[in-house]
Structure 1
Amino acid sequence: MSESIRLRLDVSYDGAGFSGWAAQPTRRTVAGVLTEALGRLVGPETPLGLTVAGRTDAGVHATGQVCHIDLPIEDWERLSGSLLRRLAALMPPDARVRALRPVPDTFDARFSATFRRYEYRVCDEQWGPEPLRRHDTLGWLRPLDLDRLNAAAAGLLGEHDFAAFCKRKEHATTIRAINRLDWRRDPDGVLVATVQADAFCQAMVRSLVGAMLFVGDGRREPEWPGRLLTLRERSSEVTVAAAHGLTLVAVGYPDEAEYAARAEATRRLRG
């Protein structure tokens, strides 16, 4: 087996045309187009071990996605000066590798991560989102109150069992630690929720946003989302917000010396 070098790739994409991140044989996915582009440069049979920080669902966007690959040394020596440019020529216009660099082999894009940060954009203007932002901004037909949204968010901060807001997977925990959850109204009038946690369950962010929006427009009281944390199964009362308003904006990592320890601790926790 030839020696390899681990590369960190920073990736962004418009999720509208993808069936999520994870490769699927009959569907267009971000991992699929990235793997295809890399295969054209190093050979489709070359195992790269593509690993991503977080698998986004169909329609979800990213400006700060992170993944890693293990590239054979001989290919890195041949391509190191031109790999980013070559990928730009081979990738479709709705997915970009924005940066790449060698990292220690202790780096794991998924398990070394300390946080994932998402933003969700909502326009509550009567006439709807700006046409140029229609793919990343949800239109909400009822006026939303910023104070009510933030009051609802406050009740969801911290470490909890978020089973009421998750699609449960067998043998997987639904306990997560949210260390940031707040709303702001930007100068253009768009409301933006910022959600940051160590990790998220499937559909968790969109479920949280869906619950808070019902508080923001007055149909639920600010304490309602927090009360759902007592449930141990998904709540049928929670509406999952549409995928297109959600963007993965950042993934955090510790210092290089702590990559391995963080990955080991995360594996134990998720197991």
Structure 2
Amino acid sequence: MTDDPAPGFVRVRLDLSYDGADFSGWARQRERRTVQGELEDAIRTVLRLDEPVELTVAGRTDAGVHARGQVAHVDLPEAVWAAERDRLRRRLAGRLPWDVRVWRAVQAPPGFNARFSAIWRRYAYRVADHPGGVDPLLRGHVLWHDRPLDVAAMNVAADLLLGEHDFAAYCKKREGATTIRTLLDLRWERTAGDIAVATVRADAFCHNMVRALVGALLLVGDGHRPPGFPGEVLAGRVRHSAVNVVRPHGLTLEEVGYPPDDQLAARNLASRNLRTLPGCP
């Protein structure tokens, strides 16, 4: 199996960010505004391409979710790339709406696939528990929780979730897709202004996973549940009625990690295999 660009084409890596408030998620949809739709239309327009382009993204974010370090790739005709590579960013800046920006556009190394070559994604979820609410200037990126949060207790609970598990209890199941993931980091820290920030890093995420994990940990932070509760939900492998999927606006995709260039192709191939846990068929 090969994932190389077609003959006469070059693969281009795009590093981008967007404010997700007015988007119906990443993936192109009919009659709905999406990040993919805006970018693909802008690329086709500024490069004057006869055929539509198709972006592949590292992480398909939901409606309302933001990104600071999203990565995508697109295969472009070699002649077009050679002519436009040095001015593509500037031309896209003049065509794209204010809430999505492309910061880098470079030729990708051999074997690169924005989605399948990635080895981890890092998200941040921001929550304010000040009794007066959220700073109005931050309201589009911070969730307000109306009870004080014990960050230390949430970190005790978070440690019990690390490692490779079936996260079915924290995911919206999709037909034919696995819910097995390796959670590499999950920790809470206080920042200025009574904001608690969760850093969540995993090899990949399934649908709603971060927002459901945050929902379970908030129950621990405000004293509604003991620190062992999120781990018990995980072990049960079914959705728990007490765990809410928190609102999307507090979530931001911060960074995507890739292996060294000589390992990209191997990672691309390995990521396509359906995962199972040891001892499971």
* TM tier relative to shorter chain: over 0.9
Return the match for 2:154 from 149, 155, 168: 149
Indicate conservation of the 8 Å contact 1:172/1:270, yes or no: no
Show the counterpart of 2:115. Answer: 110
Shift of the alpha carbon at 1:39?
A: 1.1
Shift of the alpha carbon at 1:212?
A: 0.2
Indicate conservation of the 8 Å contact 1:36/1:44, yes or no: no
Sequence identity (%) = 54
Shift of the alpha carbon at 1:232?
A: 2.9
Return the match for 2:69 from 64, 70, 80: 64
Indicate conservation of the 8 Å contact 2:46/2:95, yes or no: no
Show the counterpart of 1:88. Answer: 93
Return the match for 1:98 from 97, 100, 103: 103
Measured in 1, the distance between the counterparts of 2:82 and 2:218 equals: 51
What is the number of equivalent residue pairs in this alignment? 271
User: Which is further off, 242-251 or 34-43?
Assistant: 34-43
Measured in 2, the distance between the counterparts of 1:161 and 1:270 equals: 10
Pairing 1:74–2:93 present? no
Measured in 2, the distance between the counterparts of 1:125 and 1:4 equals: 53
Shift of the alpha carbon at 1:47?
A: 4.4
User: Which is further off, 91-100 or 42-51?
Assistant: 42-51
Shift of the alpha carbon at 1:270?
A: 5.3
Task: Spell out, residue by residue over 1:204-259, the C-alpha distance to the aligned partner (whole angstroms, 9 max, x if none).
Answer: 00000000001100001100000111223322221011100000000000011111
Indicate conservation of the 8 Å contact 1:2/1:73, yes or no: no
Listed as ranges, the gaps of 5+ residues in structure 2 are 1-5, 277-281
Indicate conservation of the 8 Å contact 1:120/1:246, yes or no: yes
Measured in 2, the distance between the counterparts of 1:173 and 1:234 equals: 15
Counterpart code for 1:92: P
Counterpart code for 2:108: V
Show the counterpart of 1:131. Answer: 136
Listed as ranges, the gaps of 5+ residues in structure 1 are none
DSSP 3-state at the match of 1:192:
strand
User: Which is further off, 167-176 or 54-63?
Assistant: 167-176
From the superposition, tell whether residues 268 and 46 of structure 1 become closer, same or farther in structure 2 (CA, over 3 Å): same
Return the match for 2:246 from 231, 241, 248: 241
Task: Spell out, residue by residue over 1:175-226, the C-alpha distance to the aligned partner (whole angstroms, 9 max, x if none).
Answer: 1100100000012321000000000000000000000001100001100000
DSSP 3-state at the match of 2:91:
helix
User: Which is further off, 37-46 or 117-126?
Assistant: 37-46
Show the counterpart of 2:234. Answer: 229
Show the counterpart of 2:208. Answer: 203
Shift of the alpha carbon at 1:104?
A: 2.3
Shift of the alpha carbon at 1:100?
A: 1.3
| TM value normalised by structure 1 | 0.97
Measured in 2, the distance between the counterparts of 1:114 and 1:25 equals: 31
